[in-house]
Amino acid sequence: MVDKRKSPRKFDEEFKKSIVKLYEGGKSQNALANEYGIALSSVARWVKQYSEVKIDDDTILTARQIKQLQKRNLQLEEENLILKKAIAIFTPHSTND
């Protein structure tokens, strides 16, 4: 018996970004999936991954960059908490004798 499942196709990043640009230009995810023969779940994932967000100073970030910044922020908050605890431990307490 022959396995009829298709092996997953690989799309390069530029292709994915071009699909997202078409979506941002007004095409629906369903239309893009049908037109290019891509799974709807792939289109949805690419839109989530590559859609851009413009912030106050006209900087543009992708969802991936925002996720990386959130991860870095969490790491820095944890480091900050550790340093605060270390300062509390190693700073002599003043006594009013």
Torsion angle of alpha carbons 79, 84, 87, 93, nearest 10°? -170
CA dist 93 and 29 (Å) reads: 62
pLDDT in tens for each of the 97 residues of the chain?
555 566 677 899 999 999 999 998 999 999 999 999 999 999 999 998 888 888 888 888 887 888 899 999 999 999 999 999 999 988 887 665 5
Domain ranges of the chain: 10-50, 63-91
pTM over 0.85: no
Model pLDDT, residue 55: 82
CA dist 90 and 73 (Å) reads: 26
Model pLDDT, residue 79: 97
C-alpha closest to that of 21 among 58, 39, 46, 55: 46
Helix (H, G, I), strand (E, B) or coil at 53: strand
CA dist 21 and 44 (Å) reads: 13
Model pLDDT, residue 33: 95
